[in-house]
Structures are given as C-alpha cells and as structure tokens.
Amino acid sequence: MSLIALDYFYTLIHLLIIGFNLFAWAFPTTRRLHLYGVAITLGCWLILGIWYGIGYCPVTDWQWQVKEQLGEQNLPNSFVKYYADKLTCSNINPEIIDGLTLGSFLISISISLYLNFFRKNTK
C-alpha cells in the first residue's frame, strides 16, 4: 500500500471513529457498542495518555508517522485540529479545538449513558 493510500485510509478511520463516537448512541442497535467505543477512546486519551500525553490517539500517531514520511512537518497534536485548519484555511487555536472536541465527546457519552441505563424502555 502506498503512503498516500495509507494516509487516506487513516483519515477514513479517523472520520468513522469520530462519527461513531458522536452519533452511534442515536441508533438503538448501536447504543451498547457506542459505550464500548467511547470507553476505548477515553482509555486511549487517559490511560495511554499517562505515557504519551493526555488526549493520545494511536490512530493519530500512526497517521502522523505516514504524513512525516510524506514530507509534512509541524503537525498538531490533534487530528481534529489538523483538519479544522485544513478546511478553514486558517490556524485555529488548539485550545478551542480541544475544548470543542472534549465537550462534544462528553455530551455524546452523557446521552449514551442516559439512553443505555436511565431511560425507561417504552415498548
């Protein structure tokens, strides 16, 4: 697989993970799986973060290795920051991006916990 194809593959994986983490709670068939997905993400951010820095994502690490081999430099810590900058053609404050990412993630987890454990089943 070429490096360019691998870069696209990692971008697709990132987008799928982000989409799943943000919206899979909305579908009854994926609600339980959503909890596992966000738990894995949170584990990477916090547990692996002990060694690699809070917010660590192995997929980002792997993709940045590919991008560096492709000649990109000065990559941010966050995939979301990278693509927000790319889409807006600007340099958005990383603290804003991190805050929006964390806030969206926490809202998604909260909704998922409510739907999985506290909402009464009405069948």
Chain segment 38-58, per-residue pLDDT in tens:
999 999 999 999 999 999 999
Q: What is the pLDDT of residue 46?
A: 94
∠ at Cα 13 (26, 81), nearest 5°?
A: 90
Tell me how many domains the chain contains: 1
Residue 23 resides in a domain: yes
Residue 113 lies in a domain: yes
Decide if 63 contacts 10 (C-beta within 8 A). Answer: yes
Give a yes or no: residue 7 inside a domain.
yes
**123 located within any domain:** no
Measure the CA–CA gap between 29 and 5, rounded to whole angstroms.
32
Tell me how crowded residue 106 is: count the other CB atoms within 10 A of its CB.
12
Burial 47-71 (b: 16+ CB within 10 A, else e): ebeeeeeebbbeebeebbebbeeee
Backbone dihedral region for residue 107 (phi beyond 0: left; psi -120 to 50: alpha; all else: beta): alpha
Domain assignment present for residue 87? The answer is yes
Task: Convert the pLDDT of each residue in 53-104 to its tens digit.
Answer: 999 999 999 999 999 999 999 999 999 999 999 999 999 999 999 999 999 9
For residue 123, pLDDT beyond 70: no
- Does residue 77 lie in a domain region? yes
Domain span including residue 98:
3-118
Residue 81: closest CA among 71, 93, 73: 93
Residue 54 lies in a domain: yes
Is 109 inside a domain boundary? yes
Q: What is the pLDDT of residue 119?
A: 83
